[in-house]
Amino acid sequence: MAATRYSTSNEIRRQVASPRAKNRENKDTLCRNVLIYGHCRYEDQGCTFNHDQTPKTSSPQADHAKKPFNVESPAFTPSGQLSAVPKKTTLPSQAASAAPFTPRGVGTTTLPQAAEASVFNPAAIREFTPQNYDINNASAKGVAHDAAGLYADPFTTMNSLGTALPAAGQYNMYAGDHTGLAAPTGQYYPQHGAFAPGPLQPAAYHLYQPFGPYRQDLQPWQRATYDFFISPNLREELQKKSFATLQVMPNSGLPQLERWHSLFPLDTHNRKNASAFGYPSWVYKAQNSRTGRHYALRRLEGYRLTNEKAILSVMKEWKKIKNASIVTVHEAFTTREFGDSSLIFAFDYHPLSKTLQEHHLQPPHGNRYRAPAPVPENVLWGYVCQLANALKTIHANKLAARCLEPSKIILTETNRIRLSACSILDVVQFESNTKSLQELQQEDLVKFGRLILSLATLTPPAHLNNVSAALDSMGSKYSANLRDAVAWLIAPPNPGEFKSIESFISGIATHMATYVDLALQDNDDKLSHLAREVENGRYVRILTKLMAIFDRGDLGVMQNWSETGDRYQLKLFRDYVFHRVEADGKPNLDLGHMLTCLNKLDAGADEMVLLTSPDNETVFVVSYRELKQTADRAFNELVKLSKTGAPGANS
Ligand SMILES: Nc1ncnc2c1ncn2[C@@H]1O[C@H](COP(=O)(O)OP(=O)(O)OP(=O)(O)O)[C@@H](O)[C@H]1O
C-alpha cells in the first residue's frame, strides 16, 4: 500500500489505515492523504477528515501551527546553538520601556538556555571597548578575566599588572604630576600588549611598606620604633665603622705624605716583625688629598727600590684583580717622609677589621692563660670557600697570592675574610725571585692547606712542624671531608703533575653551593634593610626643604618671607605635623602621624588636610599636593637667590 510505504509517522499510518473512522470531529482536520498525495482515495468511502483544500479566512500557517505535528513544523534546533536564533540576541524596542526584571526567588523561574544567553551574555555585550584596544591581540595574559569569566583569580592577572609598573625614568614620583602615570604614551592600552604602559591608578607612594624577607615574626604590640628601621646591631656596627673611618690622631707624629694626610696607625702592637715580607711592615689609615677617601697604607720599612719597573709591571697586573675575597690594591710608591726609604702600598680600607691571627690564634683579651676558642667547622668551610674563590681569580690571572698567612688575611665582617697583602712580595722579590709561576701557585695551595690546618688546630703556621700529627688531631674534631680537603692541599703533587685550584673547587662543590646559598640569604637580608632605609632618605630630603623655608624671616626685599603668601600654609602644616597637642594641652608625639604626614607631603597625595591658625581665625583646607607645590615653589625661590644652588649640587 502506497500510503504505508511512504509514511514516516505512526500517526499517519494509523490515519491511513483507518479510513472508516467514525469520529466526526475529524471534519475540521485536513486529511493527510490530501496533504501528501493531493487527493484522498477514501474521500468518498467514508474518510472522516476534511478534504476541502480552499483556504479559510485564517492563515494556513496558523492552522498548521496549531497542529501537534505536521510537515511544516519548524525543524528541531538545539537551544544551545545561538546561530540558529540570531534575531533573539537583540532586544526589541519595547524592551526599553519594560519594567526591570526582578527575580522572585532562586529557582522559581527557569529561563530556556537560549533566552538566557540572549539576555545575559558577557561575551556578546561589549559596550565599553577602549580605544586602540586590539581584541585579536588580547592574549590570555592581558585579558584573562574576559575568557575566564567574571570570577577569574585576580592574582593570576597580577602577573600582567606587574609589567605595568612604569620603567625607571618614565615616571618620577617626586615630580608632583601623576598624569603621566596613567597614560604615559597617550594610549590607554598599547597595540602590542595588554596593560604595558602604566598601572591603572597612581601607586600609594606615601605609604611606608618595607618588603621581606621578614626574619622576625613580631606581633604589633611587640614592635618598637626601631623595628621600622635598620636593626640595632647592624646600625651599631655601621656606626662604629663610620666612627673608625673618621678617627684621627692629632699628635701621632706620623708624617704627611705627598698625596696622603691624616695618617692613623692600625697596628695593634709595635713589635717589628719582618717574617711576612722580609721587612718590618706597618699599616696606617690615611685620607687621599685629592679624593678625600680613606685607604689603608701598608709601609715596608727600610725598603730601597732598585728597579722602577718592579712597581709598574706588578701593579699593572694586580690592579686588574677584582674579587670579593681580596683587598683591592690601588697603587704603590716609595717615600722618605718616615725618615727612611719606605715602600708604600695603598689598599682599600676595611674599618675595624682584624687579622685571622688576632681573631683566632691569640688568647682572648690578651689573657695568655685562656686558650683560644676552637673554630667551628662551618666557619672553617666558609674560609675554605672564600680562599678558594680568591685563589681561583689570582691563578686565572697568571699570578700567585704568595702571602697566605693568618696575619695577612683580614676579617672584615662576621666570617667574611679577604687576602690583605697581595702583590707586595711580587714587588719586593721582583728581581730575587727564582721560582716559576707554576711553582708559586703550587706553593699557594700548600700554604692554603697549612693555614686551614693551623686554624683547625689553633697552632700558628710557624709552629706547625708535624703536619701528619696535626692532621690526625684534626680528624677527631672535624669531619673526614674537611680533613681530606686539607690533606689534599698540603700533599705534594705526583711527580710531573700539578694540582690546580679548579680541581680543588670541584672536590668541595657541595660546600661551595652551601656557601653561595648563605651568601645569597645574607644578600636578601641586607636588601630588606636597605628597603627600610630608603624611607629615611625621603624624610631627610623633605625635612631639609621645609627647614630651609620655615622661620626664615626677611628674604631680599620681602619682609617676613616665610610667613607671607602660600608659605603661611606651610608654617601651619608644620604645627599640624609636629606641634599637635592633646585636649588637655599636653604635647602629642605620635611618630606615626609625623611620618605619615611627611610621606604624604613628599608624594603630593590628593588627600585634603585642615590647617588652622593658632588663634582659630584662619582655616585652610588644602591638599598635600598643593602643599608640596607650595614647598617646591618656595624652595626654588631660595635656590635661585642662593650662590651655591640646590643642596648637594656641588658635592
Ligand atoms: N686593608 C685594611 N683595612 C683595614 N685594616 C687593615 C687592612 N689591612 C690590615 N689591616 C689591619 O691592620 C692591622 C695590622 O695589620 P698587620 O698585617 O700588620 O698585622 P700584624 O699582626 O701586625 O702583622 P705583623 O706582625 O706581620 O706586623 C690589623 O689589625 C689589620 O686588621
Q: Where are the domains of the chain?
A: 1-57+94-103, 237-524, 536-644
Q: How many CB atoms lie within 10 A of CB 296?
A: 22
Q: Regarding beta strands 354-355 and 329-335, do their DSSP bridges make them parallel or antiparallel, or are they unpaired?
A: unpaired
Q: Which residues pair with 287 in a beta bridge?
A: 261, 294
Distance from C-alpha of 467 to C-alpha of 450, rounded to nearest angstrom: 8
Residue 640: per-residue pLDDT: 87
Residue 528: per-residue pLDDT: 81
Q: Regarding beta strands 608-612 and 619-623, do their DSSP bridges make them parallel or antiparallel, or are they unpaired?
A: antiparallel
Residue 81: per-residue pLDDT: 39
| CA distances in angstroms from 650 to 30, 290, 303, 646, listed in the order given | 107, 16, 42, 8
Here the cell at position 140 is 590570555
All residues at 6 or more sequence positions from 322 whose CB lies less than 8 Å from its CB, including other chains: 328, 393
Residue 631: per-residue pLDDT: 95
Distance from C-alpha of 326 to C-alpha of 410, rounded to nearest angstrom: 9
Distance from C-alpha of 428 to C-alpha of 342, rounded to nearest angstrom: 11
C-alpha neighbours within 13 Å on the C-beta side of residue 570? 29
Q: Measured over all CA atoms, what is the biggest interatomic distance in the chain, rounded to whole angstroms?
A: 150
Here the cell at position 237 is 656596627
Residue 283 CA to ligand 1 center (angstroms) comes to 6
ipTM summary value: 0.98
Residue 207: per-residue pLDDT: 65
Work out the angle between the directed axes of helices 567-578 and 509-549 (0-180°, nearest 10).
120
Q: Which residue, chain included where needed, has cell 705624605?
A: 257
To the nearest 10°, report the CA torsion of 579, 580, 586, 588.
Answer: -100
509: left (phi over 0), alpha (psi -120 to 50) or beta: alpha
Distance from C-alpha of 200 to C-alpha of 491, rounded to nearest angstrom: 66
What string of H, E and C letters represents the secondary structure of 281-310? EEEEEEEECCCCCEEEEEEECCCCCCCHHH
Distance from C-alpha of 60 to C-alpha of 55, rounded to nearest angstrom: 7
Q: Which helix (H) or strand (E) holds 629?
A: helix 624-641
C-beta separation of 388 from 488 below 8 A: no
Here the cell at position 458 is 689553633
Residue 258 CA to ligand 1 center (angstroms) comes to 23
Q: Is 298 annotated as a binding residue?
A: yes
418 phi and psi, to 5 degrees? -145, 145
Q: Is 309 annotated as a binding residue?
A: no
Quote the CATH superfamily of domain 237-524. Transferase(Phosphotransferase) domain 1 (1.10.510.10)
Residue 166: per-residue pLDDT: 41
The reply to whether ligand 1 has any atom less than 6 angstroms from the CB of 283 is yes
Residue 84: per-residue pLDDT: 38
Q: Is 355 annotated as a binding residue?
A: yes
| Mean pLDDT in consecutive groups of 10 residues from the start of the chain, 651 residues | 36 39 60 74 79 55 43 44 40 44 40 40 42 40 36 37 41 45 41 46 61 64 66 88 93 92 93 93 96 97 91 96 97 95 97 96 73 92 98 98 96 96 96 94 97 95 91 93 96 89 97 96 87 79 92 80 90 95 92 90 92 91 95 91 66 44
Atom 8 in ligand 1: residue holding the nearest Cα: 420
Q: Is 73 annotated as a binding residue?
A: no
Residue 571: per-residue pLDDT: 94
Read off the pTM. 0.63
The CATH code belonging to domain 536-644 is 1.10.287.3700
The reply to whether ligand 1 has any atom less than 6 angstroms from the CB of 352 is no
Question: pLDDT tens across 630-648, in order?
Answer: 999 999 999 888 877 666 5
Residue 215: per-residue pLDDT: 57
Residue 525 CA to ligand 1 center (angstroms) comes to 29
Atom 26 in ligand 1: residue holding the nearest Cα: 273
C-beta separation of 550 from 572 below 8 A: no
Q: Which residues pair with 333 in a beta bridge?
A: 344
C-beta separation of 297 from 286 below 8 A: yes
The reply to whether ligand 1 has any atom less than 6 angstroms from the CB of 354 is yes
